[in-house]
Structure 1
Amino acid sequence: MEKLFQQKTKELLKDQAYRKIKEKMIKGEEEFTSENNLVLELNMSRTPIREALNRLQHEGFLKILPNRGIVFTELSSEERNELIDMRIAIETYSLWQAATRIKDTDIEELYHIIDMQEKAYLSGDFGDLVEKDALFHYYLLEIVGNTQFIKMYSQARERQFTVRAGKWLKNKPDVLQHFIEEHRTILNAIVQKDISSAVQYLTEHLEKGKL
């Protein structure tokens, strides 16, 4: 029993380290770091941090350079554009499917998410704003409930948000506000049952992420 508890604790710490390091990268705080810095910043032991770093390196989020530190990797323009094309295919198809399933409670929740985005924007909380932006898209996919689409979306979106993307967005508050307005435009079209326009607005919204 004690052995099982220790194993679960180990996995929990590893997952926490993974999430915290990825969040640090997405926020665009820095392009370089080290294992020692992460131990101090995250106030965690070296083992879960090292395991999380190995996982992130395997997934392509960073490179561990022996005796030199850790570099958060960037996407090429081609990779970024391919991810956005995949998101457009998944999200627009799901939006057509959601048209016959969306409920009043879903509409209310989506407006609430937009309100939370606005609040995060006004308070200057960039991390929360990015999180709520993702939640809007995620919720639309959840209405249909295709677990593979949700998984692919989550992986693609996380991969889009590299250090460079985080820094660029932080310095473009007008762009961030425009994204919120575009979410509202998409949702208003859904409410009016004009799904073809909603799909068009969603496509245009996602296309703006291309380089």
Structure 2
Amino acid sequence: MTKLHGVAAIERPPTLARRAYLQIQQAIRDGAIRQEVRYSENELAETLGMSRTPVREALISLSREGVVEIESQRGFRLRTLSTEERREVFDLRSLLEPYVAGRLARHAADDDLAPLYELIDAQEKLGTSGQQSAFLALDERFHLLQSELAGLERTHATMVSLRGAMWLMGFEALALPQRHEAVIAEHRAIVDAIARHDPDAAAAAAHEHIARTAAAVL
């Protein structure tokens, strides 16, 4: 059967389950959903203005990602990550992200650098304003965009799967004094090395950033 060319796909709005997933994700980032608290699925659905079905689907997705635990009687709570799980997340990041930065340094075009620098500049504007949720959202986009720009689809999917754990640890990573400024400087060092097309320096800068973030959390 002949494939059609030049026919644009219809852009579909996100499903209710996807909308619920994103809103719950944001609530976790904002600290509105907290550790060691049991929540009601029915109350969450009412708060989101949705039926329980899409909220349940969203929670099942988050459960598969290791972010929440679904309990009997339609309740859920955020997972508490063990020290071993935390170390594993950072071990995986320390393997993947230097690889991504190094690959991007070899092949990045000038147009690839602008959105990365824009994300860093946006973080710098936020600074220590207290908008930690916005800062963390920019941080997530910075890390995931690199694998997108490098065209590393499987690596990108693996990195996405680790973000749920990072939502649970994100505020801890920013708790140390001057950590905001350090994150910005570390991000800039990664992109500067990519801009110089220096794979070794880019990988080293990414590795150093992950190591410092791990030290802040662990």
**TM tier, shorter chain?**
0.7 to 0.9
Across the aligned residues of Structure 1 and Structure 2, the Cα RMSD in angstroms comes to 2.4
Q: Deviations over 1:58-104 (max 9, x none)?
A: 33221222248321002112112212222222221222222221111
Compared CA separation, residues 68 and 173, structure 1 to 2 (3 A)? farther
Matching residue of 2:51: 45
Q: Is the 8 A contact 1:39 1:46 kept in 2?
A: yes
Matching residue of 2:124: 118
Equivalent in 73, 76, 80 of residue 79 of structure 2: 73
Q: What TM-score results when the alignment is normalised by the length of structure 1?
A: 0.83
2:193 matched to 1:201? no
Residue type of the partner of 1:140?
A: Q
Equivalent in 77, 100, 109 of residue 106 of structure 2: 100
Query: What secondary structure is seen at the aligned counterpart in 2 of 1:100?
Result: helix
Matching residue of 1:20: 23
How many angstroms apart in 2 are the aligned matches of 1:110 and 1:156?
20
Query: What secondary structure is seen at the aligned counterpart in 2 of 1:75?
Result: coil
How many angstroms apart in 2 are the aligned matches of 1:159 and 1:149?
17
Compared CA separation, residues 158 and 59, structure 1 to 2 (3 A)? closer
Deviation at 1:132, TM superposition (A): 0.9
Q: Percent identical across equivalent pairs?
A: 33
Q: Is the 8 A contact 1:101 1:143 kept in 2?
A: no
Q: How does 1:144-155 map to 2 (within 5 A)?
A: 144-155=150-161
Matching residue of 2:143: 137
How many angstroms apart in 1 are the aligned matches of 2:157 and 2:114?
24
Q: How many residues align?
A: 201
Q: Is the 8 A contact 2:45 2:51 kept in 1?
A: yes
Deviation at 1:180, TM superposition (A): 1.2
Q: How does 1:168-207 map to 2 (within 5 A)?
A: 168-169=172-173, 171-172=175-176, 174-207=178-211
Q: Deviations over 1:95-127 (max 9, x none)?
A: 222222111111222111111112233543222
Deviation at 1:147, TM superposition (A): 0.6
Query: What secondary structure is seen at the aligned counterpart in 1 of 2:107?
Result: coil
Q: Is the 8 A contact 2:98 2:203 kept in 1?
A: yes
Query: What secondary structure is seen at the aligned counterpart in 1 of 2:106?
Result: coil
Which sections of structure 1, spanning at least 5 residues, go unmatched? 1-7
Greater fraction helix:
1
How many angstroms apart in 1 are the aligned matches of 2:59 and 2:145?
29
Which sections of structure 2, spanning at least 5 residues, go unmatched? 1-11
Matching residue of 1:3: none
Q: Is the 8 A contact 1:118 1:180 kept in 2?
A: yes
Q: What TM-score results when the alignment is normalised by the length of structure 2?
A: 0.80
Deviation at 1:36, TM superposition (A): 3.1
